[in-house]
Amino acid sequence: MGLLVALAALAALGVAYGAQDFLRLVPCPLCLWERWPYRVVFVLGVLAALLRPAGGRFLLSLAVLALAAAAALGLLHTGVEFHWWNSPLPECNGILTPGAPLPLVPSKPCDDPTFLIPSLPISMAAMNFIYATAFAFLLLTYVSRKPRRFR
């Protein structure tokens, strides 16, 4: 199961890097943050595949938490895109604080949605929220059931 989890995390990263490198879609700072939980899940999945079932199950439980963080970041970014709230990252808002150095100007604003599939009105941040939520739910279902005992 650990290898499957690692591959699913790698698939999410592959879509993000593919959109960036091959489709030339520029990621915003929040987009870059959304990749970190999948990196963590990938490492946990690989380690879970190498350990005994009990240790692997524990690491997959930690992966559920990382996926919950990925879903939260996806929801946060989607809210920024819909202008429900401002981004917590100063480089997304360009907020000037008296006495502080000038904020970095992002190459792409965080509130400008990126659509991977032009005819589908779901941004990549919303896709990340949906994917991470479903992935976390499926993995939680797996780790919460009783392990089978072979006799």
Domain ranges, residue 71:
2-89+104-144
Share of the chain above pLDDT 90, in %: 52
Asked whether residue 149 is assigned to any structural domain, the reply reads: no
Asked whether residue 51 is assigned to any structural domain, the reply reads: yes
Are the CB atoms for 106 and 30 separated by under 8 Å? no
How sure is the predictor about 68, in pLDDT bands with cuts at 50, 70 and 90? very high
Q: What is the total residue count of the chain?
A: 151
| 57-83: average pLDDT | 94
Asked whether residue 16 is assigned to any structural domain, the reply reads: yes
Per the rule left: phi > 0, alpha: psi between -120 and 50, beta: everything else, 94 is left
Are the CB atoms for 104 and 113 separated by under 8 Å? no
Tally DSSP H helices, then E strands, for the chain.
6, 0
In angstroms, the Cα distances linking 138 to 37, 60, 81 are: 16, 11, 27
Asked whether residue 8 is assigned to any structural domain, the reply reads: yes
- Please tell me whether residue 119 adopts helix, strand or coil conformation: coil
pLDDT at residue number 114: 84
Segment 93-126, tens digit of pLDDT: 655 555 655 555 556 778 888 888 888 889 999 9
Are the CB atoms for 89 and 33 separated by under 8 Å? yes
| 4-33: average pLDDT | 92
> Is it the case that residue 151 has pLDDT exceeding 70?
no
Asked whether residue 45 is assigned to any structural domain, the reply reads: yes
Asked whether residue 98 is assigned to any structural domain, the reply reads: no
Segment 39-54, tens digit of pLDDT: 999 999 999 999 888 7
Asked whether residue 99 is assigned to any structural domain, the reply reads: no
Total domains present in the chain:
1
